[in-house]
Structures are given as structure tokens and as C-alpha cells.
Chains A and B, each alone.
Chain A
Amino acid sequence: MAIELRGVSKRFGGTQALNDVTMTFGENRIYGLLGNNGAGKSTLMNILSSRMYPDAGSVTVDGIPADTDAALGLLFLQGEKNLFPDTMKVRQAFDAVKLFYPEFDRVGAEDLAKQFGLNLKQKITNLSTGYGSIFQLVLGLCVNTPYLLLDEPVLGLDAQHRDLFYKLLLRKYADNPCTIVISTHLIAEVAGIIEHTVIIREGCILKDAPTEELTADVRTITGPTALLDGYLDGRTVLSESVIGGLKTACVQGTSGQPLPAGLELGRVNLQDYFISLMNEEDRK
């Protein structure tokens, strides 16, 4: 019971958007798909939902090829832009979704819309960026498919609504477990929520591991520059910064080892780890 990608590649003109991507989104877990702009996150999501086809490789959902009704019915993509016709009203969209996704909680959706302040009678095209996102994520939260793909779900949402969304998502996940894939740049916000992190860069998968594992082995070490340099010799350094005589370095592979006196140890959060990783890759 998983979404499987095998050797998926996609090229747009001169750019290789996805390069031989092989990975699995397994059952009942929250995944984070992290990457910079243009890394290939949206392309990946679009291929999963059959909005585009890969140049090479295969995608299956529970073993079924991804571009069939059976597979598509198992997943729902909340994309950056929705594909509803301009003239459709929110309520009509809910009616239509109910037709095709029988598990859709119509009543729940109307309640949620009210909670967010979404007007059911409005035309979809007249919704602002924020309310467009809200419309889509109300659908996503209520559609109850085994796989829920969220591409930048909180785009344009104010802080209050973002908080509400995450809470609702977690409640839904707790009540009706499913596989959720969140693709976003807002790493700090989702760091606590995602169980498994996939980092994508320039079409390639850099990291694909449980979130805890990624940050477990990385530490920040702060101390006088000379002393720290001595300690850093021969270790994997992800990033460094110097203020005055004090240097801070982000180092991999230090867990369990005692530090020399004068050096301080700190943990790295997911966002800092991501930034360090990207900086290191840029340097290569």
C-alpha cells in the first residue's frame, strides 16, 4: 500500500526537472517534501496526479499505474492552483467533488468553510490567493482519500489560518490516518509535523529519511575560532559562521562523542539543517 516512483525523469526544454527519482510514500505517514524553488517538488506532485507524464520511469499507486481512474481516485492533489472552472461556485464544487469522491465529507466541508470564513456562494475565480488556498485545503481535509498531496498548502494564509490548518490536519490524521505528503518551503512550520523528510534539489533526491534521523547526527558547535578549527579538522562540516573571535560550525557525525572544554554543543533544527545542506551543495 504505497505510492512508488521508479526512475522517474522529466525534462522541460533545457532543464532537467526530475532526474531518475526513485522513492516510496508509504502507508499512513506524514511526509515532508522539501526543496527550493525549481527543485522539482511541483513537478513531482503533478506527475503523481497525472497532470503530466514522466519522460522515463514508472509511477504506481498501490501497484496500479498512476494514470488510471482507480489510482487517481485514491489520491487528491491540492495544488498551487486549482483546476476548477472560473464560473463555478464553491458550493457547486463541493457538490461535484461528492459525486466523484464518495468518501468526501460534505457536511464537514461546509462546517470547515464556515470556520475559515469561506463564503460558499462565491465564484472560485473571485477568491483571493488566501481563500483560494482555503477552498482547496477544505477539500483536502474532507476528501478522505488514502493519499493526500498538499503542494504549498498555506500559500497566502494568514498566521491564524495557518495555525488552524495544521491543527485540523493533525486532527484529521489522528482520526482518519492516511498518507499525507506536504511540499513546502516553510520548513520551520512543518518540522514538528512531518515524520519523514524528503529533500529534493535540482531534480535529484538528496535525502530520504525519517526526520529524527536527519537531525540526530548533526550538531552545532560553538567556541573560540582557533580551538574549534582544531576540533573540526577531519570532520564533515556543513556550514560555518564567525562573529568576532567566536565561531559556530554545523557538523555531522558527532553524536556520543565528548567535546573538549570551551566548546558548546547545540542541536540543529530541520530548517537550519536544510539551509546548511543546501549551502554545502552550492559550494560543491
Chain B
Amino acid sequence: MKKHLMPAFRYTLKDYCRSAGVFVGVIVLVMVFFTVQVSVNGNGNNMALSGLATASCIFLFVLGVADCREKLRLMNQFGLSRSTSYQAELLALAVLAVAVAAVLEAVTGLFQFFAGDHFWFYAGDLYQLIYLWGDKTLILTFGQHVDSVLFNACLTFLLAVSGQFFSLLFWRLSKRWAIAVGVSIPVLLNLIPWSIYRASALHPILSRAYTAIIGFWGASAWNFMLSCLLLSAVIIGINWLLLRRAIIRAPR
């Protein structure tokens, strides 16, 4: 099994890097464009360079959705078992998550460094927002940058495997169920956070649980990362159960 895992991993990663390259390229161009525009227009406007984590989340989520089945098909044609194919894919996604986060963090760091004490210019991200209290004047240390990268990587990896989950669900479900799921997911996604919040107010135990979890996450980025990784592991387990007996067919 080891013999084929590395070539499969390298092949998958190279493939992902192409899409990632486009994504990162676009982001950087957008950043440059807006920076130039704002600096030309003067001090009146505040520019915030954030939301890169969100963009990365969406990118990796879509990657998980779009590519999962196609990769499994291709790897089967190459004579790889499902377990090797899926392992290679997960490894590639993990590396990709870290790489994309690192590149974007480096770009953000550069902007921060050069913007210095121009108060109208803010470059930061989710990690900074949550754990460093969104202090706009802050220039992150290297250690803090590393934390930010890992934070983003864990979050985006979670979203990637979630994307895979949806893709696999649609693969295994019959058409009727697929439509039902497809309609209900966005609805649920909107309802669940609100419901949890409201539910937590219903009963002291729930309320304490809710506060404990939020507190746990708030205490340190590492806690949140751990939760992400645990949840990812669970989803990966479910994904494996979904794909291990799925029928591989050519796309119509």
C-alpha cells in the first residue's frame, strides 16, 4: 500500500495546486488592487484586508465537493484501492490547507508590515479577530502568524472534508433523497446556530454546556483547532463508510 500512496499523493497535490494557484493569485490581485485604490484616495477610507480565511474556507469546501468522486474514479483506473486513494486525497488536502493558509498569511503579514502605523489600513484575519481582539494596530509576531496559519488550516480542512461529505452523500443517495437533502441543508445551516443559541437558554444544563464550549474555544486557538480536527476525524469516518462500497461509474 505504501508503494502507491506517495505517487498518488503527489499526483493529487499537484492537481490541487493548480486550482489553488489560481485562487491565491486572484486573492493577491484583489488585495493589490484595493490597496492601490485606497492609498490613492487618501486617508478618508478605512480598508480592511480580512476575510481571507472565509474565502479559503469556501475554496476548500468547493474543492472537497467537486473533486472527490472524480479523484476516486481516476485512482481506480490507475489501479489504486479506495483506501489508498482516499488517504492520498486527505493528505493532499491537509497539505493544501496549510500551504494556502501559509501563503495568504505571508501576504497579509507583508501588508501589515508595510502598512505599519497607517491607521486607515488594516490587514488581519479571523484568528486575529477572535484571539487578538481585533486590535487594528497590532503587527503580529512570527509565532502569532504561525498560530494563525494553523488555525486557518484546521478550519479549511474541516470544510474540505465536509464538502466531500456532501459530494459523497449525493453520490450514494437516490434522486429523491438527494433533492430532499439538497434543499434541507441550507435551511438547517441557517437554523442550527440560532437554535443552539436559543436552546441553550432553555435549560441551565444546556446553557452551561453552551457557555463551556464557547469558553473552551475562546480560551485558546488550540482548543478550537482541536475541535476542528476531532470533527474532521468524525466526518472522515463517515465519508469512508459512504465511499467504501460506492459504485464507481463513468460520468454520463
Interface residues of A (CB under 8 A from B): 46, 49-53, 67-70, 72-76, 79-86, 96-97, 99-101, 145
Contacts and interface: CB of A to CB of B under 8 A. Distances in A.
A82 B247 contact: no
A69 B248 CA distance: 16
A102 to B, nearest CB: 10
A82 B70 CA distance: 12
Interface stretch (B1-9, B21-29, B102-110, B143-151): B1-9
A50 B7 contact: no
B76 A100 contact: no
Contact of A79 (B70, B82, B84, B250): B250
A84 B71 CA distance: 9
A180 B201 CA distance: 68
A50 B250 CA distance: 14
Nearest to B246: A52
B81 interface: yes
* Pairs of residues from A and B, 3 with the lowest C-beta to C-beta distance, nearest first: A81-B250, A100-B78, A83-B73
Contacts of A72: 76, 79-81
A73 B7 contact: no
A96 to B, nearest CB: 7
A100 B81 CA distance: 12
Given A67-B81, A72-B81, A75-B79, A83 B74 contact: yes
B77 interface: yes
A100 B247 contact: no
A67 B82 contact: yes
Given A51-B249, A81-B250, A82-B250, A69 B81 contact: yes
A99 B7 contact: yes
B216 interface: no
A50 B133 CA distance: 52
B175 interface: no
Given A69-B1, A85-B74, A50 B82 contact: yes
B245 interface: yes
Contacts of B84: 69
A117 B1 CA distance: 37
A73 B4 contact: yes
Interface in B1-49: 1, 3-4, 7-8, 11
A83 B81 contact: no
Contacts, number: 68
B215 to A, nearest CB: 46
Contacts of B7: 99-100
Contacts of A49: 76
A93 to B, nearest CB: 9
**Size bracket, chain B contacts:** 20 to 34
A67 B80 CA distance: 8
Interface of B: 1, 3-4, 7-8, 11, 70, 73-74, 76-82, 84, 245, 247-251
Contact of B248 (A51, A68, A70, A99): A51
A72 B80 CA distance: 6
Contacts of B11: 96, 99
Nearest to B252: A81
B231 to A, nearest CB: 29
Contacts of B245: 53
B1 A83 contact: no
A100 B79 contact: yes
B79 A83 contact: no
A82 B77 contact: yes
B171 to A, nearest CB: 13
A74 B70 CA distance: 22
A86 B66 CA distance: 13
Contacts of B81: 50, 67-69, 72
Contact of B80 (A53, A79, A100): A100
Contacts of B250: 79-83
A63 to B, nearest CB: 16
B70 A85 contact: yes
Contacts of A68: 1, 81
A73 to B, nearest CB: 5
B70 A51 contact: no
B79 A51 contact: no
A34 to B, nearest CB: 23
Contacts of B76: 49-51, 72, 83
Nearest to A75: B79
Looking at A69, A72, A85, A101, which has the most chain B CB atoms within 10 Å of its CB? A69
Contacts of A70: 1
A76 B1 CA distance: 18
Contact of B79 (A52, A76, A82): A76
B247 A69 contact: no
Given A53-B245, A69-B4, A79-B250, A96 B82 contact: no
